[in-house]
Amino acid sequence: MRRALSLLAAGAMAVVALQAPALAAEGAFDAPVATVKANEGKGLKTAIFSGGCFWGVEAVFSHLKGVKSAVSGYHGGAADTANYETVSTGRTGHAESVKVVYDPSVVRYDQLLQVFFSVVADPTLKNRQGPDSGTQYRAALVPLNKEQSEVAKDYLAQMAKSGVWSSPIVVRIEAPKKFYPAEAYHQDFAEKNPNHPYIRRWDAPKVVALKQMYPSLYSASFQAG
C-alpha cells in the first residue's frame, strides 16, 4: 500500500484495474472450517487482526454480518510512532491492523479466522501481503481473551496440517498491546473511495470473494467504523 503514488503509477494501476475487474481475490484460499468452535459467551467481543494494508482488512470485516465496528490502526509499537508516515518506515514494531468489534451470537471468532485466512491474508507470507512489503504489513493474530487465544492456536495448527497451503504457515499470534486508531482519512477508506486504483486492484476483489465464498456471512451493507 503506497499512498504517495506518482500520477504515472496511479494511472498505470487504474489501467490494470479497468482491464481486470474484481471477480475474485488473488490468493484466495479454501481455509478449513475450524474444528474448535469459539465460545465467548454473550455480549460484544473485540479482536485485532493484522493482514497487510488495513484498507482491505477493514473492508472485508465491515461486510460481515455480526461485525459492529472495524477500525484501522496500528498495533505492536509505541504511542509516539503510531502515525502513518512513521509506521511506513517499517522500523516501529507496529503493524497496520484492524480492531474488530463483533457479536459472537452472529459470527464466532473461529469464523472470523476462517474468513481472514480465506480472502484477506496469505498466512505463508512473511512481512508482506499483495504488493506491499515490510514488517508493518505482517500477518498476525492478536487475541484479546483466553478463548480467542486458545481458538487461534488450535486453528493455526489445523491450518498447518490441512494441506490447503503448499508453503509453511508463518503467521504468528502476538501479545496484545495498545491499539492506536489510524488517521481519519484511513477509516472506511474502501467505502469512501471505491474507484481508488489500489482499492479496485487489491481490495474490492477480497470483498467479492467474501460474497462468493461466504454468502451466509456476507452483508451487502458496509458497517462503518
Task: Report the Cα 213 to chain-centroid distance in Å.
Answer: 16
The amino acid at 70? A
Which residues have C-beta within 8 Å of that of residue 17, sequence separation ≥ 6? Answer: 197, 200, 201
pLDDT single digits (tens) 65-108? 999 999 999 999 999 999 999 999 999 999 999 999 999 999 99
Distances (CA, A) of 121 to 18, 42, 81: 24, 28, 24
* Residues 220, 39 contacting (CB under 8 angstroms): no
pLDDT single digits (tens) 1-58? 544 333 223 333 333 333 333 334 557 999 999 999 999 999 999 999 999 999 999 9
Does the annotation count 191 as an active-site position? Answer: no
The helix (run of H) or strand (run of E) holding residue 74 is strand 67-75
Of 3.40.630.10, 3.10.180.10, 3.30.530.20, 3.30.1060.10, the CATH number of 7-213 is 3.30.1060.10
Q: Please report, in angstroms and rounded to a whole number, the separation of the first and last CA atoms in the chain.
A: 20
222: how many CB neighbours lie within 10 A of its CB?
A: 16
Reduced to 3 states, what is the DSSP secondary structure of residue 71? strand
pLDDT over 60 (residue 60) = yes
* Residues 67, 107 contacting (CB under 8 angstroms): yes
CA within 13 Å, CB half, 199? 14
Options 1, 17, 47, 53, the catalytic residue: 53
The C-alpha cell at 85 is: 508516515
d(CA 197, CA 12): 9
Q: Say what the pLDDT of residue 26 is.
A: 59
CA within 13 Å, CB half, 173? 16
Its pTM stands at: 0.89
pLDDT single digits (tens) 144-169? 999 999 999 999 999 999 999 999 99
Distances (CA, A) of 207 to 43, 100, 178, 199, 220: 26, 16, 28, 10, 10
